[in-house]
Amino acid sequence: METSKLYINGSFVPSTGTDRIDVIDSATEEVMGWIPAGTVADVDLAVKSAADAQPEWAALPQHERSRHLMALHDELSNQAEFFTTLIAREVGTPIKLGQFVQVGVAIAAIKDAVDELEAFAWETPLANSTIVREPIGVVGAITPWNYPLYQILLKIAPAMAVGCSVVLKSSEVAPLNAFVIAEAIDRVGFPPGVFNLVTGFGPVVGEALASHPLVDAISFTGSTRAGKRVMQLGAETIKRVNLELGGKSACVILDDATMTKAVSSGVNNVLLNSGQTCAAWTRMIVPRSRLAEIEGMAVEAMAKFAPGSPFADGKVIGPLVSAAQRDRVREYIKGAQDEGARLLLGGSEQPQDLESGYFVLPTIFTDVTPDMTIAREEVFGPVLSIMAVDDDDEAIALANATPYGLHGGVWSEDLERAERVARAMKTGQVDINGGRFNPLAPFGGYRQSGNGRERGHYGLEEFLEIKAIQH
């Protein structure tokens, strides 16, 4: 696997700089590889390559673009086991979980984009006009470390499907999987310049990409803080900026819910990927009349999970991705205790039987009030806050008492009641009674959780311009 060179214009080439970035195994804290720290000059070369390649790629018949993408799908599918192991080391996701959420769903996103493209209406009549959709051009894709393969493919597959070329800046924290993608694209034989990979730090590579005048659209997933900077830079050239940012999602459990299922599902949700999930239900909003019962259920459900190696059997919570992330989450735990939240399980200590690795104990707080930091800010770790309310209206108000709005859940045996609460929640997605994942449904946020949508028909639209031709 070539990780010492960038992928630009159909070839692996050295960076114009000499700096490199070590990649750390999250469970052992040992160096497992390194990547180039790309430069502004590297970004410029990649963007110009993408700009040169895009018109011919867009002019290819749709079935030809789809053929390239399905060949990539098959190449990556053949490497699914390798990806699972690699991401377990880079991110810390347990193997059994990673097979589905890190790899299976990710690779399927390619086929989803191709299938959606087959039914896509490129031209529609409107009175005396024809509404035409055209690829926006060069797309800069900036992706995070928590679901690295998924986030890359969720951006590049629909963008390339509709005829855009791409320059990818993958996370420098978990970047090695991006090189596997680049190698597969090279083997498949995509035209040079349609896909380019420049690795490096956000303030250098990310900002150069977001501000480049030849980049027509930026698709960014990451923190709200970084997303604000990307939007500022994109505004300089009035490029389209799609942002999928942070969240502080609520799991609203009403008093008539099937409590065991609701509470255990809420706990499982917040522990997914060790809590490193933007859509995690980190606030469990519950009826005050059943608070003690729910506290006990939550502790029982979470206590079944233990921190451990991502390669271990059983219900394991893997490490966090880095020392910085571990320390950040532990500071939130300490802060919550200082502010008066009551600790039910876990805490800020290193697990006793794990001397190395970026582990955080699965943690539950109760007596959490809306003004506490842990109720307002995204923790991005295995930490659950339980918050009590007296009725449905108070539950809705508390669920919406956040600058974010990415996801949420509602639990009730009265479906009409649950639907009313779900519709009142200011958030991009809501699951009722654990409604299953729909790969065609639009995913994205309200307010400071971002703008734009990914997946399905909506994901294709993000990479298109609309033209009206009058007759």
Instruction: Label the pairing between strands 240-244 and 450-451.
Output: antiparallel
For residue 392, give Cα distances in angstroms to 120, 254, 281, 292, 399: 41, 7, 18, 19, 10
DSSP state of 149: H
Residue ranges of domains in the chain: 6-245+447-470, 250-432
Q: What's the pLDDT at 314?
A: 86
Q: Tell me which residues are annotated as active site.
A: 244, 278
> What is the pLDDT averaged over residues 106-119?
96
Q: The tokens 């339980």 sit on which residue? A: 386
pLDDT in tens, 52-62: 999 999 999 99
Q: What's the pLDDT at 207?
A: 98
Q: Which amino acid is at 353?
A: D
Q: Does domain 6-245+447-470 have CATH number 3.40.605.10?
A: yes
How many residues can be counted in the chain? 471
Contacts of 61 (CB under 8 A, 6+ apart): none
Q: Which amino acid is at 163?
A: G
Distance of CA 51 to the CA centre of its chain: 27
Provide the terminal-to-terminal Cα distance of the chain, rounded to the nearest Å: 54
> What is the pLDDT averaged over residues 253-265?
98
Band of pLDDT at residue 1, cut at 50, 70 and 90: low
pTM: 0.96
Give me the helices (H) in 137-246, please: 148-161, 176-188, 207-211, 224-235
pLDDT in tens, 116-139: 999 999 999 999 999 999 999 999
- Per the CB < 8 A criterion, the answer to whether 26 and 356 are in contact is no
> What is the pLDDT averaged over residues 95-103?
95
pLDDT in tens, 408-442: 999 999 999 999 999 999 999 999 999 999 989 99
Q: What is the CA radius of gyration of the chain?
A: 22
Give yes or no for residue 264 having a pLDDT over 70.
Answer: yes
Give yes or no for residue 91 having a pLDDT over 80.
Answer: yes
Band of pLDDT at residue 2, cut at 50, 70 and 90: confident
pLDDT in tens, 272-285: 999 999 999 999 99
Q: What's the pLDDT at 410?
A: 98
pLDDT in tens, 183-223: 999 999 999 999 999 999 999 999 999 999 999 999 999 99
Q: Which amino acid is at 160?
A: M
Mean pLDDT, the chain, whole residue set: 97
Q: How many CB atoms lie within 10 A of CB 77?
A: 15
Q: What's the pLDDT at 224?
A: 95
- Per the CB < 8 A criterion, the answer to whether 157 and 110 are in contact is yes
Q: Mapping DSSP to helix (H, G, I), strand (E, B) and coil, where does residue 188 land?
A: helix
Q: How many CB atoms lie within 10 A of CB 407?
A: 25
Instruction: Classify 250-432 by CATH class.
Output: alpha beta
Q: What's the pLDDT at 315?
A: 86
**DSSP-assigned letters across all residues of 332-397:** HHHHHHHTTPEEEE--SSPPTT-SSS-----EEEES--TTSHHHHS---SSEEEEEEESSHHHHHH
